[in-house]
Chains A and B, each alone.
Chain A
Amino acid sequence: MTDTMRQKTDLAAGLDGTSTPITASHRSLWTDVWQQFYTHKGAVVGVCVLAFIVLAVTFGPYIHTIDPQHLDIRAKNQGPSWTHPFGTDNLGRDMLAQVLAGGRTSLAVGVTAMALSLSLGTLIGVLAGYFKILGGPLMRLTDLFLALPILPLLLVAIMLFRDTLRSAFGPETGIFLLIVFIIGITSWMQTARIVRGEVLAIKEREFVLAAHSIGTRQRRIIKRHIFPNVLSPIMVSATLGVAAAIITESALSFLGLGFPSDFPTWGRLLYDGVPFLNITPSRVLWPGLAISLTVLSVNYMGDGLRDALDPRIRGR
């Protein structure tokens, strides 16, 4: 809205010849991006929901002060009440406190693992697409990783490294690093393939040739011409990546390979709640809802960000 209004004033200034230079009111890229992002309703709602979830898991435990590990066997399988807003589980632990505590881990794992897999995927994709010599070997490596049976690999990796990492970084940080690393290095392949494909197409465009004829260095061509133009698929990968990472972590916890059983994560709570679906359906509902809302809001945010970063869509 404001964008079109500003363009009108520019036009008016140009017409009456008073020439207030546009270059003076410098349009910074991030102002433009923010304005376009702001017009994307879904993205704004996504940001609000995600902000709420992040704030809740960060500061929630200071308001709702029950220890998530506190057992109160007499108050087991309860429905929602004022003392336990989300009810309790079969050992009488407070569900709200567990969801809040679990959210910290799940979000941290999701975001870190996504960041790792994304940077790995983008790096390999760009290198494989841009440099012809690297293309073959890197893509065969990608195929190799795609062909690896992930679950046995995870089992072996966790068996081998769990104790070493635990002793080096403490039980929780150790297992966190291990899980993030494992998810990261087993989920970069899709991104790499998508990015490579895009890079191959962008590389042949005339503006890249123009950059060569100007004498732009390879590094700068990648940074200035290739990378910004493959940002859209990377953005989409990123938003889907957060969701995939949270869900993979859940699966790992379910198999007993993830965090210890007394350490709640959304995925673990979900799986623990499944046998009690008939007695206390809310045990599955809340962590499930938290995962879904996070994934959905991140997706919408990514959508809005992708549009905002594309100057052709911006301002429409």
Chain B
Amino acid sequence: MSAVEAISETSPADEVLVSVENLKVHFPVHKGVIRRQVGTIKAVDGVSFDIKRRETLGLVGESGCGKTTTGRAILRLYRVTDGRIVIDGQDITALEGEALRRTRPHMQMVFQDPQACLNPRMTVGSIVAEPIDEHGIVKGREKQDRVEELLSAVGLDPRFANRYPHEFSGGQRQRIGIARALALNPEFIVCDEPIAALDVSIQAQVVNLLEDLQDKFGLTYLFISHDLSMVRHIADRVAVMYLGKVVELASRADLYENPQHPYSKALLSAVPIPNPATEAERKPIILQGDLPSPANPPKGCNFCTRCPIATELCQREEPEWRETQPGQFVACHHA
């Protein structure tokens, strides 16, 4: 399968690389002297989606809706409460210890904060070499060559391998993070808001780098972001999350042209249009109220407390996850 084919249109024949079924991540809340469990934070509560090989799935939603938790849970950095994660045909949901460690080379992560995700006491060379060391792929001279190759691949001068992270700018540090993620030749990379902490001028560079690398190495991305225009640029399909659940999943074109869930509509109406004439006409849908606590989500539809079109049915019954048109899934009674 060529990269062009995979990116152009999604057909049922495309091979699924990552499959997430009914993923739940709940964090217990302990209180009192004896640390009794008094409740659970339902950070991720029943998320399902597939990511096809060489595809980019955008995951958007407001702060605190569980995007990052989903990304980390898929890489098994958090304990999964319920559900199933299958990567490249292997069920990794219940793997532990050494078995889990051996699957790590297939899946990597690019972190949000390029300052915090690099150990300040290690040189760039040793940061990028760490995955290679840990999985004992190559040693000595070969390892050094590989590190130089990786640094060049992300557009950094390999001569900087002996410098420390604080000597680099934010964009360069993010490139170091990307080089580290690439070190093990992964197939799947979770990009957890990789551009959120960067200057706008640098954001484009990093996103373009991610796209180039995708073409070059045939990578599959889960691109987590709250920057809707950037997601529109990079993603093939987009999932919209609200309070631990995916409310809409559609191809990029369908979602941006014809959002069906009221939350997606509100979210997209907030994106400014770079044209003064149309921008003046834009009527953003302003949602009332705050995101409900994930420890105590509303009954029925999660969005019913803020939904402009909510009815009595929404407060009673949880909407079903259904396909409204080919490739577009929505969880809403009224879509």
Q: Is there a chain B Cβ closer than 8 Å to A215's Cβ?
A: yes
> How many residues on chain B are close to A (CB under 8 Å)?
38
Q: Are B159 and A14 in contact (CB under 8 A)?
A: yes
Q: Is there a chain A Cβ closer than 8 Å to B56's Cβ?
A: no
Given A213-B108, A215-B104, A220-B134, does the pair A225, B162 have CB atoms closer than 8 Å? no
Q: Are B131 and A215 in contact (CB under 8 A)?
A: yes
Residue-by-residue, is B121-164 near A (CB-CB < 8 Å gives 1, otherwise 0)?
11001000011001100000000100010000000011111101
Residue-by-residue, is A191-214 near B (CB-CB < 8 Å gives 1, otherwise 0)?
000000000000001110111111
Interface size class of A (residues with CB under 8 A): 20 to 34
Q: Are B134 and A209 in contact (CB under 8 A)?
A: no
In the complex, identify which listed stretch (A19-27, A62-70, A150-158) lies at the interface while the others stay far away: A19-27
- A211 partner, pick from B130, B157, B177, beta carbons under 8 A: B130
**Nearest-CB distance from B75 to chain A (Å)?**
6
Q: Are B101 and A206 in contact (CB under 8 A)?
A: no
Q: Is there a chain A Cβ closer than 8 Å to B82's Cβ?
A: no
Cα(A224)–Cα(B117), bound, Å: 14
Q: Are B104 and A229 in contact (CB under 8 A)?
A: no
Q: Are A205 and B159 in contact (CB under 8 A)?
A: no
Residue-by-residue, is A226-237 near B (CB-CB < 8 Å gives 1, otherwise 0)?
001100000000
Q: Are B120 and A224 in contact (CB under 8 A)?
A: no
Q: Is there a chain A Cβ closer than 8 Å to B119's Cβ?
A: yes
Q: Are A22 and B162 in contact (CB under 8 A)?
A: yes
Q: Is there a chain B Cβ closer than 8 Å to A311's Cβ?
A: yes
Cα(A103)–Cα(B194), bound, Å: 58
Q: Is there a chain B Cβ closer than 8 Å to A164's Cβ?
A: no
Cα(A212)–Cα(B111), bound, Å: 13
Q: Is there a chain A Cβ closer than 8 Å to B277's Cβ?
A: no
Residues of B contacting A310 in the complex (Cβ-Cβ under 8 angstroms): 121
Cα(A67)–Cα(B101), bound, Å: 65
- A225 partner, pick from B100, B119, B161, B177, beta carbons under 8 A: B119
**Nearest-CB distance from B154 to chain A (Å)?**
16
Cα(A228)–Cα(B134), bound, Å: 18
**Nearest-CB distance from B240 to chain A (Å)?**
25
Q: Are B121 and A311 in contact (CB under 8 A)?
A: yes
Write 26 A-B pairs (CB below 8 A) sorted by A numbering: A14-B159, A19-B159, A22-B160, A22-B162, A23-B125, A23-B159, A27-B162, A206-B111, A206-B112, A206-B113, A206-B117, A207-B118, A207-B119, A210-B109, A211-B119, A211-B130, A213-B108, A214-B104, A215-B135, A216-B134, A220-B134, A225-B119, A228-B121, A229-B119, A229-B120, A311-B164
Since A228-B122, A311-B166 are in contact, a sample of 20 more A-B pairs with Cβ atoms closer than 8 Å, ordered by chain A residue number, is A22-B160, A22-B162, A23-B148, A23-B159, A23-B161, A27-B162, A206-B113, A207-B116, A209-B77, A210-B111, A211-B130, A212-B77, A213-B109, A216-B134, A220-B134, A224-B119, A224-B130, A225-B119, A228-B119, A229-B120
